[in-house]
């Protein structure tokens, strides 16, 4: 593969630290580094896992920096190739000069994720482990960190390997039948096959279901803030985030598009989504915004319904009913009686009482708040965090966090359904075997047993440079 003939380099540390690390990987990594490095021994002669003090110089011999170079020899490196890591002083100027000197000596600048991609292509890790590297770097909570680490260590891959080996066993039984198809024999006990398929299918479904939780942990619990225009949604978003993220005004229809921001409350990551106010509108753009608000409401795991205490009670109730009617049993619904600072306490209490009939499902709550003054927000924050605290313990089991994996599992499950139906209706073994191979294909695509450049491009371009 011509890919590997290149030796690549990139800074692996973010700007601003005291020390910066430049990573170089490829067949010529040691020779290229030798061209710009002066130390006691040449790097080309150095053993793997050795550390060398020396200097990096300009072409005219003038000093750029004194550095420490770590040497790795194939296959014992992150990428599986020869590699060096140059630790220099964390100056943007020094880093750019060292990189420039490497490029002058035949090294190419690495693309985002290219080191990890090489690690995958050299068999140092499978695809789901490579993806876990990006997740690990991006993890913002203990739970997200734990899932990424488990995936990186191969926990998810092992689980998939278990499923695949059961399927391979099944496939081999069916294919044995195929070899003797003229003789109309059935080697495989169909009941036993069906049981096996049911078992693996159930496992596959469990993984698919785990995505809701996995996604909540990795990307934040999706929380849609919905309600009438001017009920205080944007004010609430800003108050929860502690910054002025959304434009607040008393002009109805100010928030036209959705705004999303994540926020860590007591160790639980939430993704708050501010939406356009729900009202009849003749403005095309605003109507699109309202459509989108309903979509966000449908996709959210938690719905914060902001209700304006300043509005007439019948209007407030109509809005609350409209939202409650759109929330499913799986979604958590929290009514927020907002602008408490504007009304008397008994008016707030009356509104709260009027909402009681809408609290008849599990996970429904009501809070009296003032997004503007901050009253009641502390209680709200704690209540939100408390109801999702179990995310932490849930991450002990395997959770799917990646949409690519989810899609592959869904395709596998669909093919599984056909295998099961085929076994029940005594479909010819060759057709069943075909569907079974499809299952194996989709499960294999998760770990990268089957992959193509497009899939790889999609995955690695989202990595940071130097990883």
Ligand X SMILES: Nc1nc2c(ncn2[C@@H]2O[C@H](COP(=O)(O)OP(=O)(O)O)[C@@H](O)[C@H]2O)c(=O)[nH]1
Q: Given the rule CB under 6 A, which residues bind ligand X?
A: 227, 229-235, 248-250, 254-255, 277, 338-339, 341-342, 370-372
CB of 292 to ligand X, least distance (A): 14
Footprint on residues 204-243 left by Mg ion (CB under 5 A): 233-234
d(CA 445, CA 458): 14
The site partner of 31 among Mg ion, ligand X, none (C-beta below 5 to 8 Å per kind) is none
Total number of residues binding Mg ion (CB under 5 A)? 3
Nearest C-alpha neighbor of 378 from the set 240, 245, 220: 240
Cis (ω within 30 of 0) for the bond into 75? yes
SS3 337: strand
Which CB sits closer to ligand X, 232 or 466? 232
Give residues with Cβ within 8 angstroms of 393, minimum separation 6: none
Q: Strand 259-265 to strand 302-308: parallel, antiparallel, or no bridges (unpaired)?
A: unpaired
CB of 247 to Mg ion, least distance (A): 7
Helix 114-121 crosses helix 127-138 at what angle (to 10 degrees)?
A: 150
CB of 233 to ligand X, least distance (A): 3
Place of tokens 């073994």: 429
Residue 394 exposed, middle or buried by CB count within 10 Å (0-12, 13-18, 19+): middle
Which CB sits closer to ligand X, 222 or 232? 232
The site partner of 12 among Mg ion, ligand X, none (C-beta below 5 to 8 Å per kind) is none
CB of 259 to Mg ion, least distance (A): 8
> Applying CB under 5 A, does 255 fall inside the site for Mg ion?
yes
- Point out the residue whose Cβ comes nearest to Mg ion: 255
The site partner of 275 among ligand X, Mg ion, none (C-beta below 5 to 8 Å per kind) is none
Which CB sits closer to ligand X, 28 or 339? 339
DSSP 388-411: TTTHHHHTTS-----HHHHHHHHH
Q: Report yes or no: 155 and 147 within 8 Å, Cβ to Cβ.
A: no
CB of 341 to ligand X, least distance (A): 5
> Applying CB under 5 A, does 331 fall inside the site for Mg ion?
no
CB of 307 to ligand X, least distance (A): 10
- Point out the residue whose Cβ comes nearest to ligand X: 232
Beta bridge partners of 67: 54
The site partner of 222 among ligand X, Mg ion, none (C-beta below 5 to 8 Å per kind) is none
Question: Token pair for residue 414?
Answer: 């669909």
Which CB sits closer to Mg ion, 233 or 364? 233
Q: Report yes or no: 250 and 387 within 8 Å, Cβ to Cβ.
A: no
Binding site for Mg ion (CB under 5 A): 233-234, 255
């Amino acid at each position: 593969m011509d890919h590997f003939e290149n030796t690549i380099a990139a800074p692996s540390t973010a700007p601003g630290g005291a020390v910066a690390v430049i990573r170089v990987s490829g067949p010529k990594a040691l020779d290229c580094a030798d061209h710009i490095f002066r130390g006691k021994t040449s790097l080309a002669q150095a053993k793997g896992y050795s550390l060398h003090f020396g200097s990096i110089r300009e072409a005219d011999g003038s000093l750029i920096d004194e550095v420490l170079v770590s040497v790795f020899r194939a296959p014992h490196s992150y990428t599986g190739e020869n590699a060096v890591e140059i630790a220099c002083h964390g100056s943007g100027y020094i880093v750019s000069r060292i990189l420039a000197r490497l490029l002058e000596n035949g090294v190419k600048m690495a693309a985002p994720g290219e080191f990890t991609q090489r690690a995958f292509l050299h068999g140092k890790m499978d695809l789901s482990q490579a993806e876990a590297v990006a997740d690990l770097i991006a993890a913002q909570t203990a739970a997200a960190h734990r899932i990424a680490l488990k995936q990186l260590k191969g926990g998810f891959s092992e689980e998939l390997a278990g499923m695949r080996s059961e399927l391979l066993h099944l496939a081999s039984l069916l294919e044995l039948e195929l070899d003797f198809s003229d003789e109309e024999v059935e080697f495989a006990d169909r009941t036993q096959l069906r049981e096996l398929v049911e078992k693996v299918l159930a496992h596959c479904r469990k993984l698919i279901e785990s995505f809701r939780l996995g996604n909540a942990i990795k990307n934040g619990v999706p929380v849609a803030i919905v309600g009438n225009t001017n009920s205080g949604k944007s004010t609430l978003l800003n108050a929860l985030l502690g910054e002025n993220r959304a434009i607040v005004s008393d002009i109805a229809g100010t928030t036209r598009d959705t705004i999303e921001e994540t926020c860590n409350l007591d160790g639980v990551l939430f993704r708050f989504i501010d939406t356009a106010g729900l009202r009849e509108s003749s403005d095309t753009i605003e109507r699109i915004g309202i459509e989108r608000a309903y979509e966000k409401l449908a996709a959210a795991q938690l719905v914060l319904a902001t209700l304006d205490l300043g509005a007439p009670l019948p209007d407030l109730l109509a809005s609350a009913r409209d939202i409650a009617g759109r929330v499913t049993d799986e979604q958590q619904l929290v009514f927020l009686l907002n602008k408490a600072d504007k009304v008397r306490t008994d008016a707030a209490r009356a509104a709260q009482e009027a909402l009681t009939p809408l609290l008849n499902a599990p996970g429904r709550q009501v809070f009296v708040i003032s997004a503007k003054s901050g009253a009641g927000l502390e209680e709200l924050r704690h209540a939100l965090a408390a109801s999702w605290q179990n995310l932490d313990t849930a991450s002990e089991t395997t959770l799917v966090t990646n949409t690519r994996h989810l899609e592959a599992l869904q395709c596998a499950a669909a093919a599984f359904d056909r295998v099961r139906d085929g076994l029940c209706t005594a479909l010819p073994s060759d057709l069943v075997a075909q569907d079974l191979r499809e299952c194996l294909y989709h499960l294999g695509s998760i770990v990268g047993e089957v992959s193509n450049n497009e899939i790889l491009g999609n995955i690695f371009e989202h990595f940071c440079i130097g990883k």
